[in-house]
Chain A
Amino acid sequence: MATLAQPRTPVTPPTYAEITRDVAATLGNPSRGYYILLGFVLTVLAIGVGALLYQIRFGLGVAGYTPPVMWGVYITNFVFWVGIAHSGTLISAILYLFRSAWRTAVYRTAEAMTVFAVLTAGLFPLIHIGRIWYAYWLFPYPNQRQLWINFKSPLVFDVFAVSTYLTVSTLFLIVGLIPDIAAVRDVATGWRKKLYRITALGWRGTDQQWRHYLKAYLYLAALATPLVLSVHSVVSWDFAVSIVPGWHATIFAPYFVAGAIYSGVALVVTLLVPLRKVFRMERYITGDHFDNLAKLLMLTGFIVGYAYATEYFLAWYSGNQFERAAFWNRAFGDYWWATWTMIICNAFLPLFLIFRKVRRSIPAMFVLSLFVNLGMWFERFVIIVVSLSHEYEPYAFGHYTPSWVEWAILCGSFAWFFTWFLLFAKNFPTVSISEVKEIIPMPRKGRAHT
């Protein structure tokens, strides 16, 4: 965290009243542009849903699966979205524990992104399984068959990890929202006022409330921190626990966690740039914030790059012919293009962040974040698909290309995510009012007592 320098606070810090007003302003009645955007997103979502129904009707064969590649784009998406989620919790929980003040302006966006990303990720295991109508068998509920589930299976780990993560991050988001909703409640009018009155749960900001609130928030953060690290470790074990060459590696947990945060921070940047513009938050989300996010990107990016190198080194050093073949195939086999996309986007592009100019240039950051997102999606694709296509049995090697159904559902998943995000951004404060206020000293009559 050494890289996270305290931002120099804005030249003229906004007064409490201004903060409330500015944030409340973002909740005004939506513009036409907003509705057009929402409409577009919903259309794409509908297409995705259509593709899914088609797949359920005729079977998974409509996807491009080609044995031995039994996992494809769906699991890739799952890992991708779970990964996205991580940065949110990192910024809101871990940085909270580290008391880094700069997070206050951005953490709400990140946290919302977390919840919606997990919500999206959670869909993919379902979309991916052959008999989605029996998905509930994955939970240990008492049934007349007297059967339980296999807790040795990494997939069951996933079930628990992802559902826990979804619950906890949602609670965390809601708890953080309460005082802010109360704040906008007291300035809002019309139906929104009703909405906020209910959702604020009667918050008034009394000394008693703040006292318990702060403790609870602290402990939630304390719980969320190991959780966020565990979730992607668990996801990585889906692969590391198996015997597939290219999967079976001890480095996977840290490698995946770093990658997760990397991709997550990238998406935060992708979201913040337009948000800042549309909501006129330039005063709150400043170059400092992007600078810090960039440093985060740089750090995690370097870890990821290092992990790539380690993988190849170990494949060679282990002398295991299967590992060697797998990695040779990654770099120079049918899927070389995917591999090199991933390496360039994830390991080389972040090097530009060394330059302060790039870090503080919003357009540059935006473009860079897009590339990182692309690269991280391909990282998962390479790890999953390419490893599976060349396993132990040469006779059974195969080549997989996704079908239109898979692409449609991938787009649908982005639409699903943005539907939630758009609805949230327009109806709930995307910048934490109380926490921004907290770091700004309140006005005083006389000189501060010592």
Chain B
Amino acid sequence: MTKRVLLAAGVLGVGAALVALRYGAPSAGLRAQQDTTAARSAYVAPVDVDTARLPGPKQPVFYRHDIHAGQYEMDCRYCHFAAEVSRSPGMPTLSTCMGCHLVAGAGNPEVEKVRAAYNEGRPIEWIEIHRLPPFVQFPHNLHVAADLTCQDCHGPIERMPQVYQYASLKMGWCLDCHHEEDVTTECTVCHY
């Protein structure tokens, strides 16, 4: 009984979030999600997954991109708010999480972790997965503006219960794309 109530609350919260999003300019993230509209109702994130088998490091909170970005089709920029305007995508602040999770997902142990952290006023220390060496400058905003979808580099994130490094992120990997798209391969574009 309570479960159903909570689910409803969760859906409501996410619905609110999505509404809020429609006002944003159409962008990579958004399109990525429209592409999947066909499969909208089709994809339902598995309820229980074998966490031991999942690729990628174990995060302090088992946050599931496949539920948020996949099943509920939330726009990436809802949490990674800076991707369009800054070189760094921006990590969601806990208050962003609480926007929904004040109501949604109560009882879920992972959600409870988030709430606890919020109440204690201690940020969650996520483990960084996509890490570039410090001598590489990668502006997210330019790549978003260049009509790349998040998935192009980060993989099918909306199907990942636990995020793992999808692309090698090595120089050769960058170059392949830059050559294909005939973008500059000038060294000082990334190295300075």
A binding-site residues for B, Cβ under 8 Å: 143-146
Shortest CB distance B132–A (Å):
14
> Once the chains are docked, how many angstroms separate the CA of A143 from the CA of B175?
12
Task: Tell me the smallest distance from the CB of A143 to a CB of chain B, in Å.
Answer: 8
- The answer to whether B127 has its CB under 8 Å from any CB of chain A is no
Interface CB pairs A-B, < 8 A, 12:
A143-B172, A144-B170, A144-B171, A144-B172, A144-B173, A145-B170, A145-B171, A145-B172, A145-B175, A146-B171, A146-B172, A146-B175
Q: Which residues of the partner chain A approach B175 to less than 8 Å between Cβ atoms?
A: 145-146
Enumerate chain A residues within 8 angstroms of B173, measured Cβ to Cβ. 144
| Interface of chain A, main secondary structure | loop
Min CB distance A144 to B, Å, is 4
Expressed in whole angstroms, the Cα–Cα distance for A145 and B175 within the complex equals: 8
* Residues in chain A near residue B171, CB distance under 8 A: 144-146
A146 to B174, CA, bound (A): 11
Give the nearest-CB partner of B173 in chain A: A144
Main secondary structure of the interface of B (DSSP, over half): helix
Give complex CA distance A144, B174 in Å: 10
The A-contacting residues of B in range 136-192, CB under 8 angstroms, are: 170-173, 175
B interface residues, how many (CB within 8 angstroms): 5
In the complex, which residue of chain B has the Cβ closest to the Cβ of A143?
B172
A368–chain B nearest beta-carbon distance, Å: 53
**Residues in chain B near residue A143, CB distance under 8 A:** 172
Contact residues in B for A145 (Cβ distance below 8 Å):
170-172, 175
Closest to A145 in B: B171
Closest Cβ neighbor of B179 among chain A residues: A146
- Chain B residues near A146: list those with CB within 8 A: 171-172, 175
9 extra interface residue pairs, beta carbon distance < 8 Å, beyond A144-B170, A145-B171, A146-B175 = A143-B172, A144-B171, A144-B172, A144-B173, A145-B170, A145-B172, A145-B175, A146-B171, A146-B172
* Cα distance A144–B170 in the bound complex, in angstroms: 8
Q: Report A-chain residues with C-beta under 8 Å of the C-beta of B172.
A: 143-146
Closest to A147 in B: B171
Q: How far is the CA of A146 from the CA of B173 in the complex (A)?
A: 10
Shortest distance from the beta carbon of B105 to any chain A beta carbon, whole Å: 42
CA distance A384 to B172 in the complex (A): 39
Assembly CA distance A4 to B154 (angstroms) = 75
* Nearest chain A residue, comparing its CB with the CB of B168: A144
What is the distance, in angstroms, from A76's C-beta to the closest C-beta of chain B? 33
Complex Cα gap A9–B172 (Å): 67
In the bound complex, residues from chain B placing their C-beta under 8 Å from that of A144 are 170-173
CA–CA, A146 to B171, complex, Å? 8
Minimum Cβ distance to chain B for residue A147 (Å): 8
Q: Which chain B residue lies CB-closest to A144? A: B172
Minimum CB–CB distance for A218 against chain B, Å: 47
Give 4 closest A-B pairs by Cβ, nearest first: A144-B172, A145-B171, A146-B175, A144-B170
Alpha-carbon distance A144/B173, docked complex (angstroms): 8
Measured CA separation A178–B4 after assembly (Å): 89
CA separation between A143 and B172, bound complex, in Å? 8
When C-beta atoms are compared, the residue in chain A nearest to B185 turns out to be A146
A145 nearest CB across to chain B (Å): 5
Q: How far is the CB of B135 from chain A (nearest CB, A)?
A: 13
| CB of B180 to closest CB in A, whole Å | 13
CB distance from A151 to the nearest CB of B (A): 18
A-contacting residues, B5-42, CB 8 Å: none
**A137: min CB distance to chain B, Å:** 13
Cα separation A319 to B144 with both chains bound (whole Å): 60
- Of all chain A residues, the one with the shortest Cβ separation from B171 is A145
Q: How many whole Å from A91's CB to the nearest CB in chain B? A: 48
| B170 to A, closest residue via Cβ | A144
Query: When chains A and B are docked, how far (Å) is the Cα of A145 from the Cα of B172?
Result: 5
CA distance A146 to B175 in the complex (A): 8
Please give me the residue from chain A that is nearest to B187 by CB atom: A147
How far is it, in angstroms, between the C-alpha of A81 and the C-alpha of B33 when the chains are bound? 67
Shortest Cβ distance from B108 into chain A, in angstroms? 42
Which residues of A sit under 8 angstroms from B170, Cβ to Cβ?
144-145
CB distance from B166 to the nearest CB of A (A): 17
CA distance A145 to B171 in the complex (A): 5
> A298 vs B171: C-alpha distance in the bound complex, in angstroms?
56
Q: How far is the CA of A387 from the CA of B188 in the complex (A)?
A: 33
CA distance A145 to B185 in the complex (A): 11
B189 to chain A minimum Cβ distance, whole angstroms, is 15
Cα A284 to Cα B170 with chains together (Å): 63
Q: In whole angstroms, what is the CA distance A144 to B171 when docked?
A: 7
Give A113 Cβ to nearest chain B Cβ, in Å.
Answer: 44
CB distance from B172 to the nearest CB of A (A): 4
- Give the distance to chain B from A61, nearest Cβ to Cβ, in Å: 21
CB B160 to nearest CB in A, in angstroms, measures 25
Which chain A residue has the least Cβ–Cβ distance from B172?
Answer: A144
Q: Smallest Cβ distance from B174 to chain A, in angstroms?
A: 10
CA distance A108 to B112 in the complex (A): 82
